[in-house]
Amino acid sequence: MRAPMIRFTALLAACTLAHGCSLLAPVPDRSRFFTLPVPPEAETQRSEMPRDGSDAAPGIVYGLGPVTLPAYLDRREVVTRVSPTELAYSETDRWAEPLTANVSSLLRQSLSRLLGSNAIVLYPWVGTAKVDYQVEIRLSRFERDATGESHLAGRWSIKDVRDGREVLVKDMALTRPGAPGDTAAAAAALSGTVSDLGQEIATALRALPSPKQAQTTGSTTHKN
C-alpha cells in the first residue's frame, strides 16, 4: 500500500515543480455569454413601414405576450440543429438571460419604435392595465442550423381583449443567414428574425380600429 502512495506523491511533486503544473489547479471556465442585440437596421425600420400619415391610434394599449418557446430551447446553452432530428448544445456558449425574456424585450422595443407608442405592456400585466389588443406568440423554432442560418418559426395572433375574440392568426417562418460555428453571428441573425417579426406584427396592429371604432364595427377573424 505504501509503494503506490509514495510513487503518487513523487509524481505530484514533480508535476508541481515542472512549469508550475498542479493536478489540483482549477479548470478555467470557458463559458461565453450572449444576448440578442438590437439589429443595425432597427433605426430605419420605422421609415420603411407602410404609412397612412399616423402612428398607432391614440388611446390603444397593446399587451405583448405570452411569448412561448419549445421546451428544448428553455435552457441557457446555445443550441444548433444539426439535422431534422438532432440537436447539439454548446459546452461553452450560453444565453446571458432566459431566452423568452430576451425575445419579449427585444420585440417590445421593436413594436414601440415601429408604432411610435410606449403603450405596450409585457405579459403578465397587472390587473389595472387596460389592454385593448393582446399579441400572443408561440415559437416552434428559434435556433441556428449547421450551415449557420438562423430560423424563427411558429404562430402569432392578435386578440381583442374586450370581447375575447381573435382578430388575426398568422403562421410565420423567417430566416437570416449566418456563419457556421459563429455564435455572435447567430445571435445577431436571430435578433434579425425577431425584428422581421416585429415589422409583420406592427403592420397588422396599425390596421386595427381604435377601441371606439371596434365597438361599433365589430371584429373579424382572419387566418393566414
115 grid coordinates: 408604432
Model pLDDT, residue 43:
60
pLDDT of residue 99: 96
CATH code of the domain made up of 60-223: 3.40.50.10610
| Tens digits of pLDDT across the chain (224 residues) | 455 555 555 554 554 544 555 556 677 888 999 999 998 876 665 545 544 444 556 689 999 999 999 999 999 999 999 999 999 999 999 999 999 999 999 999 999 999 999 999 999 988 777 899 999 999 999 999 999 999 999 999 999 998 899 999 999 999 999 899 999 999 999 999 999 999 999 999 999 887 655 555 554 445 55
Q: How far apart are the first and last CA of the chain?
A: 76
With contact defined as beta carbons under 8 Å apart, do 56 and 112 qualify?
no
Domain boundaries, the chain: 60-223
Check: CB of residue 111 under 8 Å from CB of residue 49.
Answer: no
Element (H, E) at 197: helix 183-206
Backbone φ/ψ region at 150: left (φ over 0), alpha (ψ -120 to 50), beta: beta
Answer yes or no: pTM beyond 0.85.
no
